[in-house]
A and B are shown apart, each in its own frame.
Chain A
Amino acid sequence: MGIQIKDVSYRYPTAEVREGSTRGLWALSHIDLDIEDGELVVILGRNGSGKSTLCMLMNGLIPHFFKGQLKGAVIVNNKNTAEVEVADMVKDIGVVFQNPFDQLTGAANTVFDEVAIGPENLGLSREESLERIKRALDEAGITELADRAPYQLSGGQQQRVAVASILAMRPSIMVMDEPTSQLDPVGTDEVFEVIDRLHREGMTIILAEHKVDAIAGLADRVVVLKDGRIELMGKPKDVLTNPALASLGVLPPRCTELAIRLAKENIWVGDYPLSIKEAKLGLMEILNGNHTG
């Protein structure tokens, strides 16, 4: 079980070498990554570093939907994604994309009907489907929206409908490609709340994100990509405090950044904080007499 990505390199069919880009033709080069069940792995990197490509590798969209050239192997729940159809992976792994609106099928009048589409496609009995739909709505926190028309919801609500729609298929793995990038702060919080809850319930989650502050306390592991290669990988407190982060186009969380700068002035002592809470505690200690003049 889990995910094993073994020495994967991938090239899109329309790949062209662009002037001034160091990436070259290959969107991903020699990726080795193992993900355990229940882990929340966050993928960081600047735009074009391969985050989305990595996400779409996991359920077979690459190579089946995008064609192109794929080297290496991606094994998900003991299935090689190159050897099975995308449709065969839907029970194992679900994907949530950036744009909430485009993920609505448009064939459902209510949120309930929209979430029902996945189970209906799976051919489950009516009872089983109903149970899954109710549960998925609950897990995504949108039970009260069940009778609303999907096209009339806010971005954050629509994104949670997308999440519920995938949850109704009961995958053991969720991949999310920048799910909050098109949402306002309220929507962002709503989605991160759901991610947190799913993580605590044991779902394996792969999350590509820019919002470092939000994920710092959430992630079990952080992977940083640049030009299609893994440059850093490890626990958040190791990766997010690594000075090389800036050169990879990723900013550390603001409180970590603050602590790093304070450390340069010899004010900060000890481990760097990853959350505002930790930062507060650290600052309190310093102000209470732990600092050097």
Chain B
Amino acid sequence: MATSALAYVQGNSFIHKLNPITVLTYTLCITLLGIGVGQIWVLLLVFVLNILLILKAGVIKNFMGMFLRVTLPIVIPMFIINTLFYPGSKTILYTLGPLMIRYEGLMFASTVISRLLAILSAYFLMVLVIDPRDLMIALGNRGISPKVGYLILSTLQLIPYIQQTAARILEAQQSRGLSLKGGLLQRFKSYLPLMAPVVMGSFASLEIRAMALEVRGFNLKTKRVYIREVFDTQRDQFLRRGFIVVTIMILIVSVYFKYFA
């Protein structure tokens, strides 16, 4: 099983140099736009914009790999099913033997796909360009509890480790006679003997882990000073305000056209 590696790709583009919160703000604004705007052409424009940003950040190859792997299996079946079977569809565009391609379904599928493309591309950009450590430090500098940073970073590091542990337990139990084959009931029975060691081992370590955190000053109320510096420049602040303002404007215009024009 593939160990979950970070999506983050290091780089020197201007996007990489931005404060992570700026990139986060951008992504959240795009999400709002994606949800609030219904016009397909706007959504596709946003998607193109994100692709351009991804290109500028130098992460286009990583993006293509992830994007195709993740979205195609969802998008293709969804498009086919909705175009053919979207309920309430009346207007038939094309007939292919017993199958009918209908307008309403096509519109629905196209809208969903555009929305998906627009929003997902922004998120892909974000995770490719932001180092989670920097994000946590930036959030910490703005007053978010360092415990949040601890949660996210330690979970990220733990995942590959626990996957390895699981693979090891799988091997160990198999060498003790546990079978991965057999009827459904048989395989169900094998589930607990695999899960139990993982859970018990995890819970057994809790006490020491918690105490170790305590003695490192985890619960101190002092303001943390991080060795690693994450800068928040004027440009960052300007960009963030810009994103929010533009998003609101586009939303207003979109709502106007949808309901009043």
Contacts and interface: CB of A to CB of B under 8 A. Distances in A.
Interface string A225-246: 0000000000000000000000
Contacts of B158: 106
Contacts of B256: none
Interface in B40-64: none
Interface residues of A, number: 41
Interface stretch (B80-88, B91-99, B116-124, B220-228): B220-228
B205 interface: yes
A287 interface: no
Contact of A121 (B157, B209, B222): B222
B216 A90 contact: yes
B216 A121 contact: yes
B212 A122 contact: no
Interface in A121-169: 121-126, 129-130, 133, 151, 162, 165-166, 169
A97 B211 contact: yes
Given A99-B205, A102-B205, A151-B157, A61 B224 contact: no
B161 interface: yes
A86 B215 contact: yes
Interface in A81-129: 85-87, 90, 94-95, 97-99, 101-109, 113, 116-118, 120-126, 129
Nearest to B227: A116
B220 A102 contact: no
B212 A102 contact: yes
A163 to B, nearest CB: 12
B219 A87 contact: yes
A49 interface: no
Contacts of B218: 87, 121
B1 interface: no
B261 interface: no
A106 B157 contact: yes
A111 to B, nearest CB: 13
B227 A86 contact: no
A221 B215 CA distance: 25
A61 B219 CA distance: 13
A126 B225 contact: yes
Interface in B198-214: 205, 208-214
Contacts of A90: 214-217, 220
Given A120-B225, A129-B227, A65 B212 contact: no
A4 interface: no
A59 B215 contact: yes
A97 B210 CA distance: 11
Contact of B208 (A87, A102, A106, A121): A102
A107 B152 CA distance: 8
Contacts of B9: none
A103 B217 contact: no
Contacts of A121: 146, 216-218, 220, 222, 224
- Label chain A's interface by main secondary structure: helix
Interface in A30-84: 56, 59, 61, 65
A74 to B, nearest CB: 16
Q: How large is the interface on B (under 10, 10 to 19, 20 to 34, 35 or more residues)?
A: 20 to 34
Contacts of B217: 87, 90, 118, 121-122, 169
Contacts of B229: 126
A54 to B, nearest CB: 15
Contacts of A117: 216
Contacts of B34: none
A169 B216 contact: yes
B219 A85 contact: yes
A29 to B, nearest CB: 23
Contacts of B150: 105, 107
Nearest to B133: A109
Contact of B219 (A86, A97, A126): A86
B154 A105 contact: yes
Nearest to B151: A107
A179 to B, nearest CB: 12
Nearest to A103: B212
Interface of B: 133, 146, 149-150, 153-154, 157-158, 161, 205, 208-227, 229
Given A118-B216, A169-B217, 12 more contacts: A59-B215, A65-B210, A95-B215, A102-B208, A102-B209, A103-B208, A105-B213, A105-B216, A121-B218, A122-B220, A130-B227, A151-B161
28 contacts: A59-B215, A61-B215, A65-B211, A65-B214, A87-B214, A87-B220, A90-B216, A90-B217, A97-B211, A102-B209, A102-B212, A103-B208, A103-B209, A105-B150, A105-B213, A107-B154, A109-B133, A116-B227, A117-B216, A118-B217, A120-B224, A122-B217, A122-B222, A123-B225, A130-B227, A133-B227, A151-B161, A165-B216
